[in-house]
Amino acid sequence: MNKRATQADVAREAGLSVTTVSLVLNGRENTRISEEAAARVREAAERLNYSPDPTARSLRTGKTRSLAFISDDVTVTRYASAMIRGALDAAEERGYTILMAEVGEHPERLEKVVDSMLERRVDGLLFGLMSARRVDLPALPRGKRALLVNGTSAGLPSILPAEHDAGQAAVRRLLEAGHRRIAFIGRSPRVYDPYLSATIPQRYAGIDAALAAAGLRFADEVEGHEWEPELGYRGTRRLLERAASFTAILAANDRVAFGAYQALQEGGLRVPDDVAVMSFDDEQLATYLHPALTTMRLPYREMGSLGVRMLLEGEEPVPDAATLVPMPLVERESVGPPREG
Amino acid sequence: MNKRATQADVAREAGLSVTTVSLVLNGRENTRISEEAAARVREAAERLNYSPDPTARSLRTGKTRSLAFISDDVTVTRYASAMIRGALDAAEERGYTILMAEVGEHPERLEKVVDSMLERRVDGLLFGLMSARRVDLPALPRGKRALLVNGTSAGLPSILPAEHDAGQAAVRRLLEAGHRRIAFIGRSPRVYDPYLSATIPQRYAGIDAALAAAGLRFADEVEGHEWEPELGYRGTRRLLERAASFTAILAANDRVAFGAYQALQEGGLRVPDDVAVMSFDDEQLATYLHPALTTMRLPYREMGSLGVRMLLEGEEPVPDAATLVPMPLVERESVGPPREG
DNA sequence: TTGTACGCGTTATCAC
DNA sequence: GTGATAACGCGTACAA
């Protein structure tokens, strides 16, 4: 474990020049090196256990084979951190490294962090948001590739969950199970501010479209923008007190569904036989519940991996274009089986 | 936004040599530079918006001001990802960058990833584990600093949660509330394999010690190593069916406690009035419950930040030494108030 | 087909 | 006090 071998060492060992070594090891085809020389180089490299110094290479080429992943509160928030895993895996496959930074709720830190990443000469920047919304980012040098994962920002391409489809699919699943009287918990006018949410309006739109297509409206609704168990609990109690009857609850997200379960259980109602519950997100939580929750999964990991793929491959991404990633239906036990016909 | 300014540009702008520029900008005190020259340099640097190229600097110094954070499944598992945040924040404060990689359940990937980090010339390596256990790591070059966060490995220093203290504190909290007949869910002989858990034996030991110190034993126990809601649910039902009465449940972790809640609720028992519940971990889940769960927090974020501090500061860490990070008691509503006297 | 020599932007060693 | 200049390890134009 002495000093690491350098290209010059390999050249000496192989009895050739550094040029030859460099050419061979970088697989340059156009300049025809004799097969024999190439073999000698490879053997020597092997023997000396040579691996190129990325620092020196970067200095020379201007490329670092590294990407910045900058997030707001992804690591400390529930399951959104899977986005990181997706990015990490995709980067590793391509021989890239991810430099991570997280700024929390401090937009002023963002500028510093971006600068520091730029100083480190990253080849591209990913911005990952814990919840899909619009953000204002510091200006980036022209030609530096950047995009948002689970968010949008002026002038940058973005990757978002396909919420409109998911909204439709959720409602359709309920309809297929034969439900006609469905209650909805979690509608909120506030989400129409893009800085609060970039996607929830689509989720609503998909939901309403699917319902309308079946000639239906919600049997009842509870408003609320704090999508925590409390809303689900109180919302469900209110629903139960009201006159309108319903056979299924569509919850704005899993935590709301969680609260709904509590109220249903207290009320002596069984899921899914008395009331079916369908939801969005697919947190860990969804698997803890009895019966386990059927929900539309937010594809964090896929979005993260698509993020690095888009950054690294293919043509120049289109500014302001959004790429939608499907939200799969995760079938569990809180909605009865689809009915034939 | 043309090319970035270099040291030579600054030198030219200031009418001085690169040597002087380097000396001034690196704050070398010993070699006395005139105040005037220093000022000229600083102004010129400011004007050109100069910032040193870390690549070139690394090539020269052999240091990269970067740390590797390599984990198993931290990003995709519940709340352990807060460990990353802790590491990130501590690194940023010190001007270091974190290169992340995650290998999942594939030990064979570990070697490749470590190699790739070493090739990138990181100044130190952090290994972060989703759950505290012993792992076998590939050999590291002598002199390369490395340590484990939430785990142990032969020959390396490690950072672990102070489980013995936490076990004691949990029991004491219950005792203070006046409980004498306590049931425990989640004892398992399997955890004595260090490759499965490096810390749970201490948790047990602390628990048993505090109980013994009060001259008590558990009123009843349910074994189980799968610490999921199911265990808490079925365990609690079993406890309720048995003869032994109890006024409090100590659950192995929050998910088990969650299951216990469900069974208690079904049985018409109220938390904490009929049965108090105390637990370990402090997942998000703990705040969703009604009443919210009192639990001993696993200090992921603190462990992560301590990890980089130990790597970067202080003397050579002692191999095989474990540094224990306190697990705070998070007081919520599932245990009644402490009684006087 | 292969080798020499230069430059990438720093820091560090030595002169002046 | 300050300034040339030689590394650091690599890629490549140009020469041979």
- Contact A150/B at CB under 8 A: no
Q: Quick one: which residue's CA is nearest to C3's C1'?
A: A17
The reply to whether the predicted model has a pTM over 0.85 is yes
Q: Which residues contact B16 (CB under 8 A, 6 or more apart)?
A: B37, B40, B41
Supply the DSSP string of B8-70, one letter for each residue.
HHHHHHHTS-HHHHHHHHTT--SS---HHHHHHHHHHHHHHT----HHHHHHHHS--SEEEEE
- Contact B295/A at CB under 8 A: no
Nearest to B75 among A56, A81, A285 (CB): A81
pLDDT reading at B32 higher than 80: no
B324-339 pLDDT, tens digit per residue, is 999 999 999 999 998 8
Query: A267 with A172, same domain?
Result: yes
Chain B: closest CA distance from residue A42 (Å)? 18
Instruction: Enumerate the residues of chain B whose CB falls inside 8 A of the CB of residue A89.
Output: 102
pLDDT reading at B31 higher than 70: no
Looking at the 3D structure of chain A, how many domains does it have?
3
Q: Burial of B46 by CB count in 10 Å (0-12 exposed, 13-18 middle, 19+ buried)?
A: exposed
Tokens standing for B249?
Answer: 């449940």
pLDDT reading at A260 higher than 90: yes
Beta strands A158-161 and A145-152 are parallel
Query: B31 with B180, same domain?
Result: no
B336 belongs to a structural domain: no
Which has the higher per-residue pLDDT, A4 or B177? B177
Q: What is the mean pLDDT of chain B?
A: 93
Query: A188 with A310, same domain?
Result: no
- Contact A63/B at CB under 8 A: no
Q: Which DSSP letter does residue B94 get?
A: T
Q: Residue A158 CA to nucleotide D12 C1', Å?
A: 38
Nearest to A1 among B141, B265, B288 (CB): B141
B133-174 pLDDT, tens digit per residue, is 999 999 998 889 999 999 999 999 999 999 999 999 999 999
B331 belongs to a structural domain: no
B211-261 pLDDT, tens digit per residue, is 999 999 999 999 999 999 999 999 999 999 997 899 999 999 999 999 999
Query: B38 with B70, same domain?
Result: no
Size of interface A-B (CB pairs under 8 A): 123
The pLDDT assigned to B68 comes to 98
Region of poorest pLDDT, from A32-36, B69-73, B89-93, B217-221: A32-36
B58 touches strand C (CB under 7 A): no
Judged by C1' against the alpha carbon of B9, the nearest nucleotide is C9
A66-102 pLDDT, tens digit per residue, is 999 999 999 888 788 999 999 999 999 999 999 999 9
- Contact A32/B at CB under 8 A: no
B94 touches strand C (CB under 7 A): no
pLDDT class for A171, splitting at 50, 70, 90?
very high
The pLDDT assigned to B243 comes to 76
Mean pLDDT for A261-277 is: 94
Query: A269 with A304, same domain?
Result: no
Q: Quick one: which residue's CA is nearest to D2's C1'?
A: B20
Range of the domain at A291: 163-298
Q: Which nucleotides of D are covered by protein (CB under 7 A)?
A: 1-5, 7-13
Which has the higher per-residue pLDDT, A144 or A31? A144
B59 belongs to a structural domain: no
Query: A44 with A119, same domain?
Result: no
The pLDDT assigned to A341 comes to 53
Query: A268 with A204, same domain?
Result: yes
Q: Order of strands across the sheet with A276-281?
A: A220-223, A182-187, A248-251, A276-281, A294-297, A329-330
A332 belongs to a structural domain: no
The pLDDT assigned to B2 comes to 53
A258 belongs to a structural domain: yes
Alpha carbons B305 and B313: distance in angstroms, whole number: 12
The pLDDT assigned to A142 comes to 84
pLDDT reading at A1 higher than 50: no
CATH number for A20: 1.10.260.40
With CA atoms as reference, the chain A residue closest to B143 would be: A1
Query: B177 with B271, same domain?
Result: yes
pLDDT reading at A29 higher than 70: no
The three state secondary structure string of chain A is CCCCCCHHHHHHHHCCCHHHHHHHHCCCCCCCCCHHHHHHHHHHHHHHCCCCCHHHHHHHHCCCCEEEEEECCCCCCCCCCHHHHHHHHHHHHCCCEEEEEECCCCHHHHHHHHHHHHHCCCCEEEEEEEEEEECCCCCCCCCCEEEEEEEECCCCCEEEECHHHHHHHHHHHHHHCCCCCEEEEEECHHHHCCCCCCCHHHHHHHHHHHHHHCCCCCCEEEECCCCCHHHHHHHHHHHHHCCCCCCEEEECCHHHHHHHHHHHHHCCCCCCCCCEEEEEECCCHHHHCCCCCEEEECCHHHHHHHHHHHHHCCCCCCCCCEEEECCCEECCCCCCCCCCC
- Contact A58/B at CB under 8 A: yes
Question: Between residues 78 and 137 of chain B, which touch chain A (CB distance below 8 Å)?
Answer: 78-79, 81-82, 84-85, 88-89, 92, 97-102, 113, 116, 119-121
Pick from A279, A298, A317: which residue ends a domain? Answer: A298
pLDDT reading at A4 higher than 80: no
Mean pLDDT for B93-97 is: 94
pLDDT class for A251, splitting at 50, 70, 90?
very high
Q: Quick one: which residue's CA is nearest to C9's C1'?
A: B56
Q: What is the mean pLDDT of chain A?
A: 93
CATH number for B221: 3.40.50.2300
B58 belongs to a structural domain: no
- Contact B322/A at CB under 8 A: no
Mutate to test the interface with A, among B75, B142, B144 (most CBs of A within 10 A): B75
Mean pLDDT for A124-150 is: 94
Mean pLDDT for A48-65 is: 92
Chain A: closest CA distance from residue B254 (Å)? 11
Query: A261 with A319, same domain?
Result: no
A22 touches strand D (CB under 7 A): yes
Query: A92 with A185, same domain?
Result: no
Length of chain A: 341
Q: B75 vs A54: CB contact, 8 Å cut-off? A: no
Mean pLDDT for A310-336 is: 93
Return the ∠ at Cα B287 (arms to B281 and B291), rounded to 5°: 110
A1 belongs to a structural domain: no
B165-223 pLDDT, tens digit per residue, is 999 999 999 999 999 999 999 999 999 999 999 999 999 999 999 999 999 999 999 99
Mean pLDDT for B35-64 is: 90
pLDDT reading at B102 higher than 50: yes
Query: B178 with B97, same domain?
Result: no
Question: Between residues 235 and 264 of chain A, which touch chain B (CB distance below 8 Å)?
Answer: 255, 258-259, 262
Instruction: Enumerate the residues of chain A whose CB falls inside 8 A of the CB of residue B267.
Output: none
B333 belongs to a structural domain: no
A57 touches strand D (CB under 7 A): yes
Q: B262 vs A290: CB contact, 8 Å cut-off? A: yes
pLDDT reading at B1 higher than 60: no
Which has the higher per-residue pLDDT, B27 or A124? A124
Query: A239 with A287, same domain?
Result: yes
A277-318 pLDDT, tens digit per residue, is 999 999 989 999 989 999 999 999 999 999 999 999 877 778
B259-280 pLDDT, tens digit per residue, is 999 999 889 999 999 999 999 9
